[in-house]
Each structure stands twice: as C-alpha cells, then as structure tokens.
C-alpha cells in the first residue's frame, strides 16, 4: 500500500490550489483529479471575474494553467476516481478506481458540487453556449439581452434579481403557481419591472444553433399550451449537489450534504481531514472563493502535520 503525507481529492480550483501550497511546503502531495479534471470551469467559455486576467480567460485555459503550476512546483497529479474511503482512523485508507489503496496522514476533500440540470438533450448541447448554472459567473455576458431562469426557490429569485440588474428582460420559468422562496425574496423579485414570471410552466426544449448558441426556450404550460420565448441565455437555478457521499459516514454534513467545517478554517470534525471548495460552500460557489479555501486547507494540513511531527522532510 502506498503511503502519503497529504492526499488531495478533486481537480478543480480548490484542489489545484491546495496542491500548489502543499507542494511548496514540501509535503509531497498526491492529487487525484476524478472524472472531470479542472472541475466545472472546464465547461465555461470565458471567465472575466478571476483576478489577474484583465481581458478574461477561458475556463479551460485557467484550469490548465493552475494544473501546470501545481505540477511545476512538485505536486503529483494523477488521473483516477476515488471509489471508497475509510476515515475511521489515521492514517486514512483511500481506494482509487476500485483497486489501488493509499494510506494518507492528511486528506483534503475538494470534490466540488454538481449543478442540477433538467436532463434535456438540448440543454446539454448548449452548455457553455448560452446554458449556464451560475448567473454570477456568466450574467455579465448577457448585458442588455433577454434571458430565462428556471426555478422557484431562493436561489432562482437571487439569480433573477442579479440578472435583472444586467439584462433587458428576465423570464422566470416556475413549475407551480407560487414560489418556494422566502417571503422577502419573493417580494424582491416580483417588484422588479423587467422580470416576468411564467407560472405553471416547464421547459420543453432549449432552442438554438451551434453557430450562435441559445436563441430561445420552448415552454409548456400545465394546461397543455406550448409556446416559445426568445432569449440569449438560459440559467438553471434548481440547486447543486455536493459530491460528499463517500465521506459522509465520517465527516459532518448539513441537510443538503455540504461538508461542515469549523469557523473560518477548513477543518472537519475528523482530525486530519479538511474540506475545500464547493463541497463545503453552499453560498458562494465561485472559482476565486474555491481557490482561497484550497489555500486554507493546505495551510491547515501543513500545521496539523507539523504538530504531529510529520511536517517537512
């Protein structure tokens, strides 16, 4: 069985940043990138809100650069999927791809969260071409344009309110005849003059072409009526699913499955196990926030190993 001081699970902004910091601290980190190296940002076209790129940068390019930097400073980045974990005692036992076992003195969980989609083939087709699950990330690209938001909860109302400040028109597609959002959020979104709520409606198809991307949405009312609306952007706001299942038997999670960390730290309830990025962040879900939490996790892991007498070689 291979033994490592610091094992990082997840190849997004949090995982790569943790790898950079732990490598520079001479902890010889090993990182498994999972099914989607680079994380959700690799499905995003342009990123204009990550500091240091005044003209913006493609999501794939940003993640490729983070990855290359981690490799350059000495992190051992590997392809592979963690399929089992035993955190009952330290060193922790991690299984990769159902067969390889690793013993780790510290573990940084940076497995992210997966946005919930409707499951439409057309929705998948136009991901990154008008279909988005993050208004804060991508709303800027739709200034002065018409967009649609799917959902009726607090997240959907927040996304619609944010987009209303940028876009000419915001349609909200809501399955029921009421919001599930809090009273305050309902009042806020209903007071916005450029937001139109399509009650008792569901999305039948995202319309568009591969040259221009999204051009509209086919909507169906509960009474059977079907109609099209012209939009340039289609935003999903029906929630995220934190990828924490493998670890929830040991680490504390909230009602939605997000890993609970102590205060401003990355510490979980299990000594030597730290969490970073979207898997422990139900509020912000931004690349720069994930990178920052990856830094904290790395520093917390380094301090923990130092106290155990297992720091720098």
What are the phi and psi torsion angles at 222 (to 5°)?
A: -65, -20
Q: Per the structure block, which two tokens stand in for 285?
A: 């879900």
Among 270, 268, 259, CA closest to 91 = 270
Q: Per the structure block, which two tokens stand in for 81?
A: 């999927």
Active site residue 201: no
Q: Where are the beta strands (DSSP E) in the chain?
A: 2-9, 30-32, 46-47, 57-58, 76-78, 82-86, 92-96, 100-109, 113-115, 131-132, 146-150, 169-173, 195-198, 201-209, 213-221, 226-230, 233-236, 240-242, 273-275
Crossing angle of the two packed helices 154-164 and 183-190, in degrees rounded to 10: 30
Place of tokens 């919001």: 179
Active site residue 134: yes
Q: Are 173 and 149 in contact (CB under 8 A)?
A: yes
Among 46, 76, 134, 223, the active-site one is: 134
- CA-to-CA distance for 29 and 70, rounded, in angstroms? 10
Task: Tell me the CA distances in angstroms from 289 to 8, 70, 242, 296, one per residue in order.
Answer: 18, 18, 16, 11
DSSP state string for 186-209: HHHHHT-TTEEEETTEEEEEEEEE
Among 6, 137, 157, 201, the active-site one is: 137
Active site residue 167: no
Q: What is the DSSP-derived secondary structure letter of residue 116?
A: P
Among 6, 138, 146, 232, the active-site one is: 138
Other beta carbons within 10 angstroms of residue 252's beta carbon come to: 13
* Helix or strand holding residue 71 (H, E): helix 59-72
| Residues marked as catalytic | 134, 137-138
């Amino acid at each position: 069985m291979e033994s490592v001081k610091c094992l990082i699970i997840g190849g997004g902004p949090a995982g790569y940043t943790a790898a950079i910091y732990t490598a520079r601290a001479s902890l010889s980190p090993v990182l498994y990138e999972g099914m989607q190296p680079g994380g959700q940002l690799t499905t995003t076209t342009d990123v204009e809100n990550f500091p240091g790129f005044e003209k913006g940068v493609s999501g794939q390019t940003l993640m490729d650069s983070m990855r290359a930097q981690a490799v350059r400073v000495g992190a051992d980045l590997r392809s592979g999927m963690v399929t089992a974990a035993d955190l009952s005692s330290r060193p922790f036992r991690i299984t990769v791809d159902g067969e390889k076992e690793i013993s780790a003195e510290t573990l940084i969980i940076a497995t992210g969260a997966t946005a919930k989609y409707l499951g439409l083939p057309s929705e998948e087709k136009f991901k990154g071409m008008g279909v988005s699950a993050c208004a804060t990330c991508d709303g800027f690209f739709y200034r002065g344009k018409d967009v649609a938001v799917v959902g009726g909860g607090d997240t959907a109302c927040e996304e619609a309110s944010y987009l209303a400040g940028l876009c000419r028109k915001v349609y909200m597609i809501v399955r029921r005849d009421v919001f599930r959002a809090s009273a305050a959020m309902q009042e806020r979104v209903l007071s916005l003059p450029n937001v139109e709520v399509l009650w008792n409606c569901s999305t039948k198809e995202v319309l568009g072409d591969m040259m221009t991307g999204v051009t509209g949405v086919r909507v169906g009312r509960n009474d059977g009526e079907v109609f099209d609306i012209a939009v340039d952007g289609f935003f999903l706001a029906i929630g995220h699913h934190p990828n924490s299942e493998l670890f929830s038997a040991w680490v504390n999670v909230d009602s939605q499955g997000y890993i609970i960390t102590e205060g401003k730290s990355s510490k979980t309830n299990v000594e030597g196990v730290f969490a970073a990025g979207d898997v422990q962040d139900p509020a912000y879900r931004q690349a720069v926030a994930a990178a920052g939490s990856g830094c904290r996790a790395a520093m917390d892991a380094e301090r923990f190993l130092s106290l155990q007498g297992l720091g720098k070689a």
